[in-house]
Amino acid sequence: MVFIVMANIYKNAITSLSTTNLTTVYTVPTATVAIIKTISVYNSNASNAATLTVHITDTSASVTKVFDLVDVAAVTKKGFLVNGENIILDEADILKMTAETANYFDVYVSILEVS
């Protein structure tokens, strides 16, 4: 009998969106599958709402798709994957975000990597 032991590593990806460009938040490492457990963003601007777009790139299919697009009120946290949802990403897949306005959003992502 052969047993294969797979490593489970919990990680956080934390960043701020300092531009309005498509920004990589997390890339799955080589020989790894990632389970995105939570995504939260915080609009730190004291007076203005802003729009945030979450994108997922499937590198094996060479495609990037919009996962969600939301308006976030000033000084407000917005959670994604709130109903027990998860996002499964394969090796080299990428979680990206675009902010309507630079320097408004702080991003927090909880990830389980399986390798």
Q: How confident is residue 105, by pLDDT bands cut at 50, 70 and 90? A: very high
Domain annotation covers residue 47: yes
Mean pLDDT across 98-115: 97
Tell me how far apart the alpha carbons of residues 12 and 3 are, in angstroms, rounded to a whole number: 29
Structure tokens at 71: 């308006």
Can you tell me the mean pLDDT for 65-76? 97
- Give the mean model confidence (pLDDT) for residues 63-86: 94
Which residue in 107, 90, 4 sits closest to 50, CA to CA?
107
pLDDT in the model for residue 3: 66
Distance CA 21, CA 25 (A): 12
Give the total number of structural domains in the chain: 1
Domain membership of residue 55 as a residue range: 9-114
Indicate whether 3 belongs to any domain: no
pLDDT at position 23 is: 97
Instruction: Please give the pLDDT value at position 62.
Output: 96
Q: Region 78-85: what's the mean pLDDT?
A: 90
Task: Indicate whether this model's pTM tops 0.85.
Answer: yes
Residue 4, domain member (yes or no) = no
Is residue 35 included in any domain, yes or no?
yes
- Can you give the CATH number for the domain in which 79 is found? 2.60.120.340
What confidence tens digit (pLDDT) does each residue in 19-66 have? 999 999 999 999 999 999 999 999 999 999 999 999 999 999 999 999
